[in-house]
């Protein structure tokens, strides 16, 4: 039997308000969470396999090298809560390593994709209690009550999504994670590190154009779900590294002066005006550890690759 997806959905009206509010700003913005409809989630999975996109490949190599240590810090009789679970590929590595996870709670904003991946996990690990939650994890949400008795909660936040938050937002987000975990529980989190700008530029401007398709898919989604009339041929993807701020910025740039209607509301675009769709902050290790301390965590372990492109941290709630 497939696990029932618990929904925590604010709906189309909230999406419309957020989109309209963001497009009324200067510069215009769109929330990056709207990348992840079913098509966007699959595009992102394809991006993760690209040669230029070092993040997933490097993170997996760190996991392979240090998996025994990670399983040890996770502990026994654990409820593991994965934020932005996507295809749940990385958690399989931990589950296959005979970890002490008894309950798995994948959380994702794409309900259809979540249902599919959670069902696959439940089939693969029949003794594991799987409780998928469809929610926007950047906002408060309720955790389900498992049938299985557990002794510890661990939040798992792989990839580099923490970098999508501005620094103050990242601190507040980590504080919320600490509240979800509870005192004495833990967080395993991926953090992308500062590196040569050429490596970063290639990762976000891949030769196959998958990142461009992923970025522009937001406009397709708005056309489909909000009844807007974006002409995708009049917009293009742009990604650049802002060295002073320490972040990659992704934009959708208007190629012409134009007007777009969203459910009757008109948005004006100047030629070359952009919509800022995502930031991806890069950290050095001590910089992130200090941020974690400010949010109520005590850094315990950190694992990196030889080039120090990426890091995985284990933090304990104090």
- 234 pLDDT higher than 70: yes
Counting beta carbons within 10 angstroms of the beta carbon of residue 198, is it exposed (0 to 12), middle (13 to 18) or buried (19 or more)? Answer: exposed
* Percent of the chain clearing pLDDT 70 (strictly above): 97
User: What values do phi and psi take at 250, rounded to 5?
Assistant: -105, 135
Distance CA 200, CA 10 (A): 34
What pLDDT score does 87 carry? 77
- Per-residue b or e along 75-90, where b marks 16 or more CB atoms closer than 10 Å to that residue's CB: eeebbbbbbbbbbbeb
Which of 177, 185, 218 has its CA nearest to residue 79? 185
Residues 6+ apart with CB under 8 A from 265: 20
pLDDT band of residue 5 (cuts 50, 70, 90) is low
Distance CA 178, CA 99 (A): 22
What pLDDT score does 265 carry? 95
For the chain, counts of helices (H) and of strands (E): 9, 15
Q: Whole-model pTM?
A: 0.89
Distance CA 193, CA 315 (A): 17
- 34 pLDDT higher than 60: yes
Distance CA 13, CA 18 (A): 9
Which of 249, 223, 7 has its CA nearest to residue 136? 7
Beta bridge partners of 248: 241, 280
Domains annotated for the chain, with CATH where assigned, are: 54-195+283-317 (3.40.50.150)
- 33 pLDDT higher than 60: yes
- 78 contacts 150 by C-beta, under 8 angstroms: yes
For range 166-192, the mean pLDDT: 93
Place of tokens 């798995």: 104
Integer CA distances (angstroms), 225 to 147, 205, 245, 295, in order: 36, 27, 34, 36
């Amino acid at each position: 039997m497939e696990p029932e997806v618990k929904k925590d959905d604010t709906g189309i009206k909230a999406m419309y308000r957020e989109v309209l509010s963001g497009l009324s700003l200067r510069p215009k913005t769109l929330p990056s969470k709207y990348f992840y409809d079913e098509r966007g989630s699959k595009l992102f999975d394809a991006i993760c396999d690209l040669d230029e996109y070092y993040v997933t490949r490097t993170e997996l190599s760190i996991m392979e090298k240090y998996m025994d240590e990670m399983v040890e810090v996770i502990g026994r009789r654990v409820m593991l809560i994965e934020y932005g679970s996507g295809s749940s590929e990385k958690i399989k590595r931990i589950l296959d390593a005979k970890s002490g996870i008894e309950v798995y709670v994948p959380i994702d904003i794409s309900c259809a994709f979540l249902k599919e991946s959670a069902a696959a996990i439940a089939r693969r690990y029949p003794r594991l209690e799987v409780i998928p939650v469809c929610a926007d994890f950047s906002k408060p949400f309720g955790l389900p009550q498992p049938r299985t008795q557990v002794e510890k909660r661990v939040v798992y936040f792989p990839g580099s999504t923490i970098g999508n938050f501005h620094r103050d937002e990242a601190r507040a987000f980590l504080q919320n994670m600490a509240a979800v975990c509870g005192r004495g529980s833990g967080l395993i989190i991926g953090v992308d590190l500062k590196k040569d700008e050429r490596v970063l530029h290639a990762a976000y401007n891949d030769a196959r154009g998958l990142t461009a398709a992923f970025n522009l898919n937001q406009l397709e989604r708005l056309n489909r779900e909000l009844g807007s009339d974006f002409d995708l041929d009049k917009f293009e993807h742009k990604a650049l590294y802002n060295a002073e701020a320490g972040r990659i910025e992704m934009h959708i740039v208007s190629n012409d002066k134009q007007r777009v209607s969203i459910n009757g509301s008109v948005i004006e675009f100047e030629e070359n005006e952009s919509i800022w769709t995502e930031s991806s902050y890069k950290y050095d290790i001590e910089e992130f550890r200090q941020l974690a301390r400010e949010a109520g965590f005590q850094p315990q372990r950190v694992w990196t690759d030889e080039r120090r492109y990426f890091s995985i941290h284990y933090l304990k709630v104090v």
